[in-house]
A and B are shown apart, each in its own frame.
Chain A
């Protein structure tokens, strides 16, 4: 049965090597666009190691922890005062510092997200209404919603010349200015993360078996006790999961804090960005490393905690009550939740669209298209140093396609690897998901300092004929390898694509891997015994069957690239390859109109991507 070695066999050999080669290539790309940049930041920080000591003892950064003895003494004094003179005892005034404030605002944001998200989960899980499935899908929207668009929406709604302020002025109240307040930062974070909390909590709520509650009732618990003893304990882990995730995201939040808070409410992330702008790369790297270590720790805690949660579908899910009907206490509460949610979520988006289409005139607003016309005019007449809107749109689309081309193969290969059983799989899984815990600013900084500024790499440049002196024989000619240090540099555009791909590929993996895992292994085995190599079986059988997941992942990659701001703003500062989010940021300070118009363009593009993902049954994290 043995055949002579022919072209068929060579082909077969090539196919056999294909999967390991693809894995190696994906690993190499990942190393190049993610691990190398992050390592660059760590090396840069290590070079400026003296700064660690300075940062960790500077009250500006670490607050009262800079002088722990003093802080402890003051707390002791407070306790003493509490015992001796309780009426006049006042809690010592502790300064939080940059890191403390970052954690503090993340904590407040997490609390606000829970306060808003849990009631939303209640309505979603316990009430039936027309469009419930759509609302449920929309809770995933923040995953692809550009943060800078949220910023524009909030400025359009709550800024001095925003919609709400306009309404206030119209009814004769003072104009309202919430921009550059902590309140607005927290509210924007809640806008971003409450849907996530609602999503996770609603899933848990629907997983509670109605029979368990009925059993509690039959054993003598009143409805309140049954809720407290049966429902709450089963919800709590999910609420905590959502809160922890929100805390991590808000700890790393950049665009919202930068634009809505300003430098007065700067977080670590904003300060890293500021340091980069001041060319203080050592300080930027030092802060970035401390931040990354903290967020990796938090993410690890989150993953450990999440691993203990088991997802279950209830055998008898509780019946949903119709949302509209005779008003009773529960229904009134649900209506209240809907009203608040509508205000928080619809108002900013509505305001953005409204402001982009109106111009203030005496006694009200008039409809106009001049903000959109400005985008076109500026393209034609703008000076070289000015941001050209259509160029931004073109760059965004170009980078979107580029990061899609890069992240989809990496994501698919990682999905293939992560669904195989082998030693060390967990390590690969964790490393592959690490970008979730590293901020865009850090990746951007690493790419900027590493690949864009150039990394020296030893490279062979040729072979020369040298001579060596040997005993007895004497002088003989020998070849010598010539090596020089070559600076590897990539263009800013390529670096932007790389940074976007880093943010996008975990979503590809998360969409493809579960589908691959549920494929019957006997399908591949049938293909193998029929003569297909492992790589052929992947192409012929597995990939066609997970095509929907790959496409959903691709739509994700595109949407995330289009909306990415954090690393892009670092990599495109002062360069011509700005994207839509960067253009919006540059417009915000000067003109609200064009910023909102650009925001609407972004809304349409990401909205279309989102619909594509939904149609393809995409999976969102959480």
Chain B
């Protein structure tokens, strides 16, 4: 197994910059996710690690060795593409065995043993003689995964491997991928545009934007302590407030937003700032029947515009001074006026 280290990696094309100085370190055995909108450079980063793209400048090290000039076939990595890229002229078993033409199976196993073991791992033992076109999308995805794992690579690279599947299958497969990955302990770099998926499966996440890494951290850190406005807005739902620091009370800053003063936990904030409050951190107080005031010392009055019922929860959308406010709550009828409140510690200033 191996760790991965990218330092100052740039990839320039004639008329565009795909990577603009990427620094990333992936620890041995870690499940590491690159997430960002399309065109952010996450796939280019993955392809650079695999040796399918040469960086214009910067260095890539895998297991402490420089990868400069090392062709993809000598990097000892397994890759799974979005479209699976199974060889259409080979059976499932031949696909899985293909990498064993060039590297011996791990642990002194025979080629047949290795193929059977891997197909069993993904519940595809009976499908060895099928052709790829006879398989469903989910089955193809699983074959592509074990094909990549067959030679026992020190690095597994997954390029949006789930995005062509429907939501239910996606959830089941990503848990399966995660289980297999932890069992084998193979260092894994996962690329996705789906921030929810990134938070769900990763040990650590790198959020990318415009060819740069905005923030690296555990899913909890990324969600609760975004370091840039981009991360705060890209990951999960968020309510954004912008205003002027007009005073301090201990660790709290007093921020005036559109004539209303908010108290937020921000020991160093000054001048013009933006702060974010997550929908689930807002408490909603309804007038009239079982009237409650929202809890927390910052309060605003919001008119409900629409609600979304999500099954295990609901989201209420309203507006305050022309800003959209989203609150996680039970169903509230549209048009109702509610009080939305939060405490100073619920706000994140970036």
- In the assembled complex, A135 has its CB within 8 A of some CB on chain B: no
Proximity bits, A492-527, B CB within 8 Å = 1, else 0: 000000000000000000000000000010110111
A528 to B81, CA, bound (A): 13
Q: Are A525 and B151 in contact, with the CB atoms below 8 A?
A: no
Residues in B74-94 with C-beta less than 8 Å from chain A: 74-79, 81, 83, 85, 87-89
With both beta carbons as reference points, the residue of chain A lying nearest to B72 in the complex is identified as A528
Q: Is B229 an interface residue (CB 8 A)?
A: no
Query: How far apart sit A529 and B83, CA to CA, in the bound complex (Å)?
Result: 16
Q: Is A526's CB under 8 angstroms from B101's CB?
A: no
* New A-B contacts (16) at CB < 8 Å, excluding given A528-B72, A529-B51: A1-B76, A2-B65, A522-B81, A525-B72, A525-B81, A526-B87, A527-B87, A528-B51, A529-B73, A529-B78, A530-B78, A530-B147, A531-B102, A534-B71, A540-B87, A540-B98
Q: Is the pair B87, A541 in contact by a Cβ cutoff of 8 Å?
A: yes
Asked if B154 is an interface residue, CB under 8 A from chain A, the answer is yes
Q: Is A459 an interface residue, CB under 8 A from the partner?
A: no
**Does A531 contact B85, Cβ atoms closer than 8 Å?**
no
> Which residues of B in the span 46-72 have a Cβ within 8 Å of any Cβ on A?
50-52, 63, 65, 71-72
Question: Could you say which residues of chain B place their CB within 8 Å of the CB of A520?
Answer: 83, 85
A74 interface residue per 8 A CB criterion? no
On whether the beta carbons of A529 and B75 are closer than 8 Å, the reply is yes
Q: What does the 1/0 interface line of A520-557 toward B look like (CB < 8 Å)?
A: 10110111111111101000110011000000000000
Q: Known contacts A1-B76, A544-B89; decide if A530 and B50 are in contact (CB<8 Å).
A: no
Q: Is the CB of B81 within 8 A of A526?
A: yes
Bound-state CA distance A520–B159 (Å) is: 15
- Indicate if B148 sits at the interface (CB-CB under 8 A): yes
B contact residues around A544 at 8 Å (CB):
89
Q: Does A16 contact B (CB under 8 A)?
A: yes
Contact of A529 among B79, B87, B89, B154 (CB under 8 A): B79
| Neighbouring A residues of B51 by C-beta, 8 Å | 528-529
Across-interface contacts of A545 in B (CB, < 8 A): 88-89
- Residues of chain A lying within 8 A (CB to CB) of residue B65: 1-2
Chain B residues contacting A16 (CB-CB under 8 Å) are 71
A523 and B85: CB pair below 8 A?
A: yes
Contact present for B85 and A525 (CB under 8 Å): yes
The one of B73, B83, B147 that contacts A532, using a Cβ cutoff of 8 Å? B73
Q: Which of B50, B73, B79, B154 has most chain A Cβ within 10 Å?
A: B73
Q: Which residues of B contact A525 (CB under 8 A)?
A: 50, 52, 72, 79, 81, 85
- Other-chain contact of A531, B2, B83, B151 (Cβ < 8 Å): B151
- B residues within 8 A CB of A530? 73, 78, 98-99, 102, 147-148, 150-151
B188 → chain A, closest Cβ, in Å?
Answer: 14
In angstroms, Cα B150 to Cα A530, docked, is 9
Question: A16-B71, A531-B151 are contacts. A526–B89 as well, Cβ < 8 Å?
Answer: no
- How would residues 257 to 288 of chain A score, 1 for a CB under 8 Å from any chain B CB and 0 otherwise? 00000000000000000000000000000000
Cross-chain contact of A522 among B85, B98, B147 (Cβ < 8 A): B85
Interface presence of B323 (CB below 8 A): no
Q: List 3 tightest A-B contacts by C-beta distance, closest first.
A: A531-B102, A530-B99, A522-B85
A531 touches B87 (CB 8 A): no
How many A-B contacts are there with CB distance less than 8 Å? Answer: 76
Give the distance to chain B from A7, nearest Cβ to Cβ, in Å: 14
Of chain A, the residue at the smallest CB distance from B75 is A529
Would you give the shortest CB distance from A518 to chain B, in whole angstroms?
13
Nearest Cβ distance between residue B294 and chain A, in whole angstroms? Answer: 51
* Cα-based distance from A525 to B52 in the complex (angstroms): 7
- Could you tell me which A residues sit within 8 Å of B by CB distance? 1-2, 12, 16, 520, 522-523, 525-534, 536, 540-541, 544-545
What residues of B have a CB within 8 angstroms of the CB of A528 in the complex? Answer: 51-52, 71-73
Residues of B within 8 A of A532 (CB): 73, 98, 101-102
User: What chain B residues lie within 8 Å of A529 (beta carbons)?
Assistant: 50-52, 72-73, 75, 77-79, 148, 157
Interface assignment of B103: CB less than 8 Å from any CB of chain A = yes
| Residues from chain A with Cβ under 8 Å of B81 in the complex | 522, 525-526
CB pair A531 B73 closer than 8 Å: yes
Separation of A529 and B74 alpha carbons in the complex (Å): 8
Within 8 A of A (CB), among B244-293: none
Interfacial chain A residues near B154, Cβ < 8 Å: 1
Residues of A close to B2: CB separation below 8 A? 1
List of A residues within 8 angstroms of B99 by Cβ = 530-531
Which of A1, A525, A530, A536 has most chain B Cβ within 10 Å?
A530
Task: Give the interface centre of A12, A526, A533, A540 by most chain B CB atoms within 10 Å.
Answer: A526
Residues of chain A with a CB closer than 8 A to B144's CB: 526
| B85 and A526 contact, CB distance less than 8 A | yes
Task: Specify which of A2, A12, A527 lies most central, judged by the most chain B CB atoms within 10 Å of its CB.
Answer: A527
Please measure, in the bound complex, the distance between the C-alpha atom of A2 and the C-alpha atom of B62, giving whole angstroms. Answer: 12
Residues 126-159 (chain B) with a chain A CB within 8 angstroms: 144, 147-148, 150-151, 154, 157
CA gap between A493 and B63 in the complex, in Å: 59
Docked Cα-Cα span, A529 to B73, in Å, equals: 5
Cα A529 to Cα B151 in complex, Å, equals 10
Of B77, B85, B147, the most chain A CB neighbours within 10 A belong to: B85
Tell me, in angstroms, the Cα distance from A541 to B86 when the chains sit together.
10
Contacts of B76 in A (CB 8 A): 1
The minimal Cβ–Cβ distance linking A19 to chain B, given in whole angstroms, is 12
- Residues in A whose Cβ lies below 8 Å from that of B78: 529-530
Closest chain B residue to A541 by CB distance? B87
Which B residues touch A531, using CB under 8 A? 73, 99, 101-103, 151
Determine whether the beta carbon of B73 is less than 8 Å from that of A523: no
Assuming A529-B75, A532-B73, is B102 touching A523 (CB within 8 A)?
Answer: no
- Distance, CA A541 to CA B144, complexed state (A): 15
**Chain A residues near B74 (CB-CB < 8 A):** 12
Interface hub of B78, B99, B147 (most chain A Cβ within 10 A): B99
Alpha-carbon distance between A12 and B99 when the two chains are bound, in angstroms: 14
Residues of A within 8 A of B157 (CB): 529
Rounded to whole Å, the gap between the CB of A563 and the closest CB of chain B is: 33
User: In the docked arrangement, what's the CA distance between A526 and B2, Å?
Assistant: 20
What are 24 A-B contacts defined by CB distance under 8 Å? A1-B63, A1-B76, A12-B73, A16-B71, A522-B81, A523-B85, A525-B50, A525-B72, A525-B85, A526-B81, A526-B148, A527-B87, A528-B71, A529-B73, A529-B79, A530-B78, A530-B98, A530-B147, A530-B148, A530-B150, A531-B73, A532-B73, A541-B87, A545-B88
CA distance A522 to B85 in the complex (A): 6
Q: Do the beta carbons of B98 and A533 come within 8 Å of each other?
A: no
CB neighbours (8 Å) of A533 from chain B are 71, 73
Looking at the assembled complex, report how far the CB atom of B327 sits from the nearest CB atom of chain A, in whole angstroms.
43
**Chain A residues, Cβ within 8 Å of B89:** 544-545
Q: Residue on B with the closest CB to A537?
A: B73
Complex-state Cα separation, A214 to B97, whole angstroms = 57
Residues in B227-242 with C-beta less than 8 Å from chain A: none
Chain B residues near A541 (CB-CB < 8 A): 87
- In Å, the complex CA distance between A124 and B85 comes to 39
Whether the Cβ atoms of B98 and A527 lie closer than 8 Å is: yes
Return A217 CB to nearest CB of chain B, in Å: 42
